[in-house]
Structure formats: structure tokens, C-alpha cells
Amino acid sequence: MNRHAAAFAVYALLGVLLLWHGASLTHQLSGAGADPWDSPWFLAWWPYALTHHLDPFFTNRIWYPSGVSLLWVTSVPLLGALAAPLTLTAGPVLVYNLYALTAPVLAAWAAYLLCHWLVRDFSASLIGGFLFGFSAYEMTQDAAALNLAVTCLVPALLLVVLKRLDGELSRSAAVALAALLLLAQFLICLEIFAMIFVFGGMAWGLAYWLLPARREGLRRLFADGLITGPFVALPLAPLFVLMARDYWMINHPAIWPYYFTADLANLVIPSAMSVFGAPFVTISRHFSLSAQEQDAYLGLPLLLLIYLFARGQGRQPRGRYLVACFLALLVCELGPQLWVAGHITPIVLPWMLMVKLPLLGAALSARFTMFTALAGAVIAAYWLAQPGGRCWRLALGVLACVALLPVPHPWRPAPYSSFFQPGRVQVVLGENPRLLVLPFALHGPSSFWQMENGFGYTQVGGYLGFPPRPAQAFKAVGDLFGGTVGPGFVDDFATYARAAGTQYVVAGPGTQADLLAAIATLGWPQKQVDDVTIFTVPKSQ
């Protein structure tokens, strides 16, 4: 076994130990929160749409009648297409769980290959790979958002760029590989795809400034990028047209870019997702984001390692450049305004300029921590590979890895329902009924149930992210999304249900008791079937 294969085996073993815990891959679901309920829906949708000759990029099977663009949500089309044969034979729950288990392993291995090419040291590269693939970012997103957890293409693309810069790849090979990786990234996560260009451009600019000896190669690299552009843009042009057509439906809260930011204290204070997070929960619970978005944690050992690198190599061009990249990324992840220990300060940060831009301004800077983690991993590999003090260097590197260890990866029973099993809904309610399913949106697995049923009914509402603009016009949607039942809710709910063409309201397991009681006051005919309560929406007079 060569060293690269050995590194992969190490990461695979760590993935089993840290993530799997012997959970059933077909009857349990990896992760926590609402997003893991959606991922099987997405993975099942792509083969379903293609085999039923439906538009795979837009559907009104969910959020009827307006529908939703699947290019503007976390739909992972490439992952769905690649796994389609397995999805059709073994089911999307198994496929989702396999992706969740392998995403950190592949991310770590890709970062290891990058580090090994840079420093030619196995131990240093192995630690560098771990620091990226099992970073706080990767562990938190792997428990939440599959599209954000599949990050292996980022270090792979950087490796292609650096090999081209050093002349190890021809222009044609570099352009072809970069184009393929970028196309794949677009079809996995639009957010990461966009930020590659932002931070790639920033890294190129810093290199041109701080590495004068490399400027000729950087100019050549810039030309390569211009050549690569059409090979990425032209295949994606039809999708860009569809995205432009449906952009009007996107209306996210304007506060999100200010709220979804990294907290400065989170750099050293772990969240509840860390094995060392429990003693600090009184602090971390005040961070602006939930534990599944508190992914800025680097830990004191890694920060010390980066400091030692900066002190030792900060005066050399390469060291100065790497430290500059790390600090620039760190500032960007802090967002437009500084948060410290859950408190927003009046300190305005450079990202405020980006928030004012169209499209890019909607980027959530808390997710930039992935790029910061990669920069930290590369710096760590360089520092660990230096001659002298080998034992204590490696000891600090291992300590940096230990500081990132997560709590046992969350697993929960897949929320299968007897009513939503294939064909059952149709026996009770007829072919392709229009259902408003409760719990609503992120409060329950309504999308999972639709997938379980085989997309045999249409959903009024659902959850694939934030509601589309047409649905936001109804006050009841905001109340349902927020989980509140206030004055006037019953009338608002009836108005929304009728306006959206709902035939039945189906209250599944986990529906709030007060919500169920409120709907019952409408006097609509109701019946209990299997594990759900069904209300028949009277036709408007």
C-alpha cells in the first residue's frame, strides 16, 4: 500500500469511528435539524424527474401552486445523478447516509494530497488533511447540509492551480481539469462555486502583490483562467438562463448576511458539536447561530501553530503570503459587522462592501470558515514539515487535531410514516391529491414523507429552504414557518389553504397540539387514518 492509499485508509477509519457508530444506513438518518430531511428528497427527485420526463430544475410538486426553482436551493444535482442507480435500487436514505459518511473522508484526503504536493512530508500532510476534512466546519455541516459538506473539490482545484503554476501541468490539461472541477462544484453547491471565484481572485491578487518572483507565472495563470471561463460558462448557460428566469421568486431576509456570520469568540470557544464544548455551553449558546452553524472553531493549538509559523516564516515571501491569505479569509468570515460572544458590536468590517452587491451580497459569511480551515491546514503542514524539533512539532499538530474532535455524530430514526408509504396516500385520497402537510416546513419531515410516498402527491408548502416569494405573501406561511399560532391565525390559515388550492390538510406525527386544535375550530371534516389526522378543505362557495 502506497502512502496516499494509507492516508485514505486512515481517514476512512476515522470516518467510521467518528461518524458511523454502527447506525442503520437504511432506517436511521445522519445529522440533526431540518436539512437532513430534505437531502433524501433531492437525491430521489433527480432520478424520479428524469424517468418520468419532468423538468428536473423546476417543480410545483412542492410549494404549489407557484413551485420552486431547484437551481436556487441545495439540490445537489450532480450527487443525485451519480447515485441514481443506487437510489433507485436501495433508496435515497442509504445514499444520503453514504454521502454524509464519505464527505469528510474525501475532503481530508483531497487536502492531504494538496499538502503532500506542497511539503512532501507524509506526517505533516496527514495532519493537514485532518485539520481540513475533520474541521469544525466540516463536522457541523456534515450533520446538517450535504451540499456544504461535500468540499473535496476545493483543495483538488487548488492543487490543479498550483501544479499549473509550477509548470507540472500543461495549459490544456489544467484548463480541462479546472473546468471539470468547477462544473462539478456548481452542480453540488452554488454557494461554494461562487465563493471560489471571490476568494480565488483575492488569493491571486495577494500573490501578485507579495510574491514578485511569481508574477510571470501568475500572469500565465490569469490567462489560463480566462480560457477556462468559456468552458465553464457555456455548458452552464442554459442553467443560468433558468436561474435568471426564476430569480424573482427568491426573497431571503435582508438580515441574514448580518446574522449568519462567524463569531470572533468561536475561534477559540468550541460549540456543543465539539467534544470539548460542554464546559463552554454557557458562552456558545449565546452565539448568534445554532450549534450547527457555529463552525469557526479552530482551537488554541492550531492558532498557536499558525502564530509560530508566522513568527518563523512571516518575513519570507511564502510565509507572508500564507499568513496574509489566512488573515484575509478570517476577516471575511466575520461578516459585515463584528460579533463577539453573541453580541453584535458597532465595528464595521470589510465584508460590508460585499453585502451591498447583488447576488454576492446574499452570501452567508459563516460558511467561509471552510476556506479559512483550508488555509490553516496548509500553514500547519508547512510548519510541521520544517526541519528541527520534529517530535514537539508533531505533538502540537496532533494536539491541534485532538482539539477538533467532534461529539458523536448525530443519528436519528428515519421518519417513515405508515400513511406516507408508497401508494397509501393514493388509496385514501385519490391520485395526486394536493396536501398541506403538518408539521409545516422546517418543523417536520414533510419533504421526507413526499419522497417516501414516491412523489405521488403535490404539497402546498413544504421545505426545501426558505419559502418562495409568492408564498411569503400569505401571513399564515410566516406564522407556520415560525411555529406560532397567534390571534387571527385560523382565518389566515384558511385563506392560505384555499388560495393555494389545498384539498386536504394532513397533520402527521409531531404536529403541535395548539396548531391541531386551532385548525379543528374551522369545523372542516376530519378523520384519523394510520398515524395522521386528515382535514378535508371545503370548496369555496
Q: Please provide the DSSP assignment of 211-232 as one string.
A: -GGGHHHHHHHHHHHHHHHHHH
Three-class secondary structure of residue 30 per DSSP: strand
pLDDT (average), residues 269-295: 85
Give the HSE-up count for residue 48: Cα atoms under 13 Å, Cβ half-sphere.
Answer: 19
Looking at residue 81, what is its pLDDT?
A: 96
pLDDT (average), residues 166-187: 98
Q: Which three cell numbers stand for residue 285?
A: 449558546
Of residues 288 and 300, more confidently modeled: 300
Phi, psi of 530 (to 5 degrees): 55, -120
User: What CA–CA distance (Å, rounded) separates 377 from 104?
Assistant: 14
The answer, yes or no, to whether residue 290 has pLDDT greater than 80, is: no
Nearest Cα residue to 536 out of 429, 421, 439: 429
CA-CA distances (angstroms) from residue 399 to 9, 224, 303, 502?
A: 21, 40, 11, 56
Of residues 411 and 539, more confidently modeled: 411
Q: What is the mean pLDDT of the chain?
A: 95
The answer, yes or no, to whether residue 148 has pLDDT greater than 70, is: yes
**Residue 46 · residue 161 · CB < 8 Å:** no
Q: Is the dihedral of CA 42, 87, 134, 142 positive or negative?
A: positive
Nearest Cα residue to 472 out of 314, 248, 275, 164: 248
Q: Which three cell numbers stand for residue 429?
A: 385520497
pLDDT (average), residues 28-34: 95
**Residue 69 · residue 242 · CB < 8 Å:** yes
**Residue 115 · residue 128 · CB < 8 Å:** yes
Looking at residue 164, what is its pLDDT?
A: 98
- Model confidence at 167, in pLDDT bands (50, 70, 90)? very high
**Residue 43 · residue 76 · CB < 8 Å:** yes
pLDDT (average), residues 220-244: 98
The answer, yes or no, to whether residue 541 has pLDDT greater than 60, is: no
The single-letter DSSP state of residue 18 is I
Separation of first and last alpha carbons in the chain: 74
User: What CA–CA distance (Å, rounded) separates 71 from 521?
Assistant: 39
pLDDT digits (tens, 9 = 90+) for 32-51: 999 999 999 999 999 999 99
The answer, yes or no, to whether residue 193 has pLDDT greater than 70, is: yes
Looking at residue 314, what is its pLDDT?
A: 87
pLDDT (average), residues 157-166: 98
User: What CA–CA distance (Å, rounded) separates 60 from 63?
Assistant: 6
pLDDT (average), residues 169-173: 97
The answer, yes or no, to whether residue 451 has pLDDT greater than 90, is: yes
Give the dihedral of Cα atoms 436, 441, 444, 450; nearest 10 deg: 60
Looking at residue 361, what is its pLDDT?
A: 87
Looking at residue 360, what is its pLDDT?
A: 86
Amino acid at 488: G
The answer, yes or no, to whether residue 323 has pLDDT greater than 80, is: yes
Looking at residue 505, what is its pLDDT?
A: 98
Tell the burial category of 413 from Cβ atoms under 10 Å away from its Cβ (0-12, 13-18, 19+): exposed
- Asked if the peptide bond before residue 415 counts as cis, ω within 30 degrees of 0, the response is no
pLDDT digits (tens, 9 = 90+) for 365-397: 999 999 999 999 999 999 999 998 889 999 999
Q: Is the dihedral of CA 151, 155, 158, 164 positive or negative?
A: negative
User: What CA–CA distance (Å, rounded) separates 503 from 524?
Assistant: 11
The answer, yes or no, to whether residue 1 has pLDDT greater than 70, is: no
pLDDT digits (tens, 9 = 90+) for 245-281: 999 999 999 899 999 999 999 999 999 899 999 898 8
pLDDT (average), residues 500-523: 96
Tell the burial category of 422 from Cβ atoms under 10 Å away from its Cβ (0-12, 13-18, 19+): exposed
Looking at residue 21, what is its pLDDT?
A: 87
The answer, yes or no, to whether residue 335 has pLDDT greater than 70, is: yes
User: What CA–CA distance (Å, rounded) separates 469 from 364?
Assistant: 20
Q: Please provide the DSSP assignment of 255-314 as one string.
A: THHHHS---GGGGTS--TTBTT-GGGHHHHTTSSS-GGG------HHHHHHHHHHHHHHT
**Residue 441 · residue 471 · CB < 8 Å:** no
- Asked if the peptide bond before residue 235 counts as cis, ω within 30 degrees of 0, the response is no
Give the HSE-up count for residue 150: Cα atoms under 13 Å, Cβ half-sphere.
Answer: 25
Give the predicted TM-score (pTM) of the model.
0.95
Q: Is the dihedral of CA 159, 163, 165, 171 positive or negative?
A: negative
Looking at residue 246, what is its pLDDT?
A: 96
Q: Is the dihedral of CA 53, 461, 440, 253 positive or negative?
A: positive
Phi, psi of 485 (to 5 degrees): -120, 95
Q: Is the dihedral of CA 153, 159, 162, 168 positive or negative?
A: negative
